[in-house]
Structure 1
Amino acid sequence: MTAFQVGALLKEDQLGRVERVDRMEPGGLVPIAVRRVACGGRLPGSRAVARLLARRERRALERLAGLAHVPRLVRDDALVFLPSLDGRTPRAEDVLVRSWLEGAPLHLATALPRDFFERLDELVLAVHARGVCHNDLHKEQNVLVLVDGRPALVDFQLASVHAEGSRAVRVRALEDLRHVEKHRRRYTRWGRGPDGAHEPTRGAGAELSRSLLARAWRKSGKPVYNAVTRGLLRTRDGEARRPSSGPWPAWSDPVGPDAPAAIRGCPGGTPSACAGGDRGGARRGARGPSGP
């Protein structure tokens, strides 16, 4: 009989807790899943908010089923009803379990393949091709560097799901690409990039700028969001970011395209086909608000 246990508490706040689930093997504990328990906290209404976010994540991961380098939903009662480290057993309706992805968040990675951000563009475009926008890619901790150097995306709590190929997904997807481009510029400018180049490399989001609606969100909506999440819910984790002083990752050999899995669903079979057609609209500001 396979035995499982909660191996670590990864995060706990007013929305609930996030735990690592391990499988016990002869050689030791092996991480296999992440369990989100949307039980809320003492703040009235926090459980309802937590369950809403969990439903958003579940819906996004269901749409992305089978896509490489994003978590998959795990449906196993043996993992749902495991006692937490403090002995509490969660209610089934509060639990979402997703697969464990072995890697390091971008801000902690010690090495990156030379084509890391090209592969990240491909992955984000593949997610968009399924009708899903992540909406939280400004956080470096939501981009993982897997053990083989390829990128992965996690934490789809704020993700939105749309009809594939719809205008809604094309418009909102541009904010995801803009945030990827911000990470690319930060990691490849001022001599930080491959071969010490001082000019940042450019990707799918190179020509994108913040829309009028996104600017309005930044000036009016985001301060309220920050007050709620940091003050009332206390859910913000500091949005961990690599300090400007470094250390910056070393650059390793490119990993190459992960075709067809990483760009599965792109019309025409290329990343540019997924992004194409709306670049001009992006420069005219035809986009939704950026993530928090």
Structure 2
Amino acid sequence: MPHDPTPHDAEPREIAALKADSFGRIALMQGADGVFVRRDLRFVPLWLRLPAWWLARREALGLRAIRGMDAVPQLLRWDGRRLDRSYMAGAAMHLNPPRGDVAWFHAARRLLVELHRRGVAHNDLAKEANWLVREDGSPALIDFQLASRGHPRSGWIRLLAREDLRHLLKHKRTYCAAALTPVERRLLRRRSWVRELWFATGKRAYRFITRRVLKWEDNEGQGPKA
């Protein structure tokens, strides 16, 4: 994949460390054109360099596919070692939950519709940390390391899109249950074979790798905070 030209004339400086895990260090940076977020793979252990690069490249490709879309990060630069993306001010859902905020969940659903129309499924929306409540109260999405891309009408992307929606509805059930419609309740009860396979096999392996091998301490492998 051709590299995006750097938007920074001078070497940016770090403002704050946001997160560090086995797949990279994420920091808030100040560059010539403003504040942005950097995922830096130079701190990754040698034996994890390849999977860390694969995940970062996957994120770069996902962000490139949704370039120009509102409420998602914009890809600024990817050179194989550092991924720079635009910064969106706000708080993760679990830190500022949209409790009883029907408008927030309607906007979040519209955001997913636009994402899926562009042929991208996020695949990691069970994590509340990947949903932002921005300063103006609107929703946003971050962390596209596991995103899938394809034709929006393909069976695979449509299946993954339904799983994205199910995860949003699970959050709605937690914070805004009274606003769930009968159709949404039926969708919550409908479990795809992807979900069943993940819980039967993949989730066990995921937990073993993240908790025993990589020593992640937090839930669902978000990584220890820097």
TM tier, shorter chain? 0.7 to 0.9
CA spacing shift, 1:205–1:176, aligned 2, 3 Å: farther
Structure 1: which 5+ runs fail to align?
25-29, 81-91, 190-198, 241-292
Alignment pair present for 1:224 and 2:205 = yes
In proportion to residue count, which structure has more helix? 2
Q: Could you say which residue in structure 2 is the equivalent of 1:246?
A: none
Q: Could you say which residue in structure 1 is the equivalent of 2:162?
A: 174
* CA distance in structure 2 between the partners assigned to 1:204 and 1:155 by the alignment: 29
Q: Could you say which residue in structure 1 is the equivalent of 2:140?
A: 152
Select the residue among 94, 104, 108 that pairs with 1:116.
Answer: 104
TM-superposed deviation, 1:71: 0.4
CA spacing shift, 1:111–1:140, aligned 2, 3 Å: closer
Q: Tell me, what secondary structure is at the counterpart of 1:135?
A: coil
What one-letter code is carried by the residue in structure 2 that aligns with 1:100?
Y
**Based on CA coordinates, which of the two structures has the bigger radius of gyration?**
1
CA spacing shift, 1:148–1:203, aligned 2, 3 Å: farther
Deviation track 1:59-89 (CA, whole Å, cap 9, x = no partner) reads 11000011110000113xxxx8xxxxxxxxx
Deviation track 1:241-292 (CA, whole Å, cap 9, x = no partner) reads xxxxxxxxxxxxxxxxxxxxxxxxxxxxxxxxxxxxxxxxxxxxxxxxxxxx
The farther-off stretch of 164-173 and 227-236 is 227-236
Q: Could you say which residue in structure 2 is the equivalent of 1:52?
A: 54
Q: Could you say which residue in structure 2 is the equivalent of 1:66?
A: 68
Q: Tell me, what secondary structure is at the counterpart of 1:93?
A: coil
Contact map agreement 2:98 2:104 (CA 8 A) in 1: no
Select the residue among 237, 241, 246 that pairs with 2:218.
Answer: 237
Alignment pair present for 1:184 and 2:168 = no
TM-superposed deviation, 1:42: 3.2
Alignment pair present for 1:11 and 2:13 = no
Alignment of 1:211-290 (within 5 A): 211-235=192-216, 237-239=218-220
Q: Could you say which residue in structure 2 is the equivalent of 1:97?
A: 84
* CA distance in structure 2 between the partners assigned to 1:37 and 1:129 by the alignment: 30
Q: Could you say which residue in structure 2 is the equivalent of 1:41?
A: 44
Structure 1 stretches of 4+ with a deviation exceeding 6 A read: none
Q: Tell me, what secondary structure is at the counterpart of 1:115?
A: helix
* CA distance in structure 2 between the partners assigned to 1:17 and 1:60 by the alignment: 19
Q: TM-score, normalised by structure 2?
A: 0.83
* CA distance in structure 2 between the partners assigned to 1:100 and 1:204 by the alignment: 35
- Give aligned-pair identity as a percent: 38
Residue correspondences, number: 211
* CA distance in structure 1 between the partners assigned to 2:217 and 2:50 by the alignment: 18
TM-superposed deviation, 1:201: 2.4
What one-letter code is carried by the residue in structure 1 that aligns with 2:16?
A
* CA distance in structure 2 between the partners assigned to 1:129 and 1:144 by the alignment: 21
CA spacing shift, 1:227–1:239, aligned 2, 3 Å: closer
Q: TM-score, normalised by structure 1?
A: 0.66
* CA distance in structure 2 between the partners assigned to 1:93 and 1:103 by the alignment: 28
TM-superposed deviation, 1:188: 1.6
CA spacing shift, 1:38–1:3, aligned 2, 3 Å: closer
